[in-house]
Amino acid sequence: EVQLVQSGAEVKKSGESLKISCKGSGYSFTSYWIGWVRQVTGKGLEWMGTISPGDSASRYSPSFQGQVTISADKSINTAYLQWSSLKASDTAMYYCARRYCSSISCYGDLKDSFDIWGQGTMVAVSS
Amino acid sequence: DIQMTQSPSSLSASVRDRVTITCRASQSINRYLNWYQQKPGKAPKLLIYAASSLQSGVPSRFSGSGSGTDFTLTISSLQPEDFATYYCQQSYSTAFTFGPGTKVDIK
């Protein structure tokens, strides 16, 4: 079964660091990009960035560039999202998702979509 | 960035109703448009990719259409399990963006 399993909920204080994870299984982890999506309670979905686990190439939303770091360890089929200094405004649910393309480059691929999602990791940051 | 808008933001409908949700992009995105369904407390689920292609396992009552800047998601006969929030997302630019969502609830 193709799946992404995320790490558990976190409760942190402002200024603390945090790294959450997303482990892929049932498919070739290095063949598909992984994206991270934020959802504040009661609000919509915001794309944060994507990473290619094979070569760690990454792309960030301008809204999140410099605020978070996306990384991957292909040896253990795991992608990460990390903060060096959390803020109360980082309180949200975070989802990882597999970016499906029918070719590795994704260039010009109409099938480019997030087809498999993790269960989400809730991050609560108190001030 | 490409901005996505959806209308309506919410709607109330009855079982067996035909429901249509509209998504508009701030510039032409060809057919690089995906639709997701999200139920409360759950992760989003891909319904339609490339504007009109049904994801494997998704019931045929869901359909998508459009190209360029204007797109629609149609549920031909609303079922109890379809009450959820629906999001469009463009993949024309790799700076992906989602629409704000349309919540479908029970009339």
Cα–Cα distances (Å) from B17 to A49, B74, B85, B103, in that order, read 37, 11, 16, 15
Residues 33-72 of chain B whose Cβ lies under 8 A from any Cβ of chain A: 34, 36, 38, 43-46, 49-51, 53, 55
Six token digits for residue B48? 């339609």
Determine which of B2, B55, B96 to mutate to test the interface with A (most A C-beta atoms within 10 Å).
Answer: B96
Per-residue pLDDT at B19 exceeds 90? yes
**Pairing state between β B102-106 and A33-39:** unpaired
Q: How far apart are CA B44 and CA A77, in angstroms?
A: 22
Q: Is B86 in the A-facing interface, judged by CB distances under 8 Å?
A: no
Q: Which residue has the tokens 């794309």?
A: A47
Chunked in runs of 10, what are the mean pLDDT values of chain A (127 residues)?
98 98 97 97 98 95 97 98 98 98 86 97 97
Residue type, B106: I
Check CB contact under 8 Å for A114 and B34.
Answer: yes
Percent of chain B with pLDDT over 90: 98
Which residues of chain A neighbour B34 with C-beta distances below 8 Å? 113-114
Q: What is the CA A29 to chain-centroid distance, rounded?
A: 14
SS3 string, chain A, reads CCEEEECCCEEEECCCCEEEEEEEECCCHHHCEEEEEEECCCCCCEEEEEECCCCCCEEECCCCECCEEEEEEHHHCEEEEEECCCCHHHCEEEEEEEEECCCCCCCCCCCCEEEEECCCEEEEEEC
Residue B53: CB atoms within 10 A of its CB come to 15
Check CB contact under 8 Å for B43 and A119.
Answer: yes
Which residues of chain B neighbour A35 with C-beta distances below 8 Å? 96
List, for residues B58-69, the tens digit of each pLDDT value: 999 999 999 999
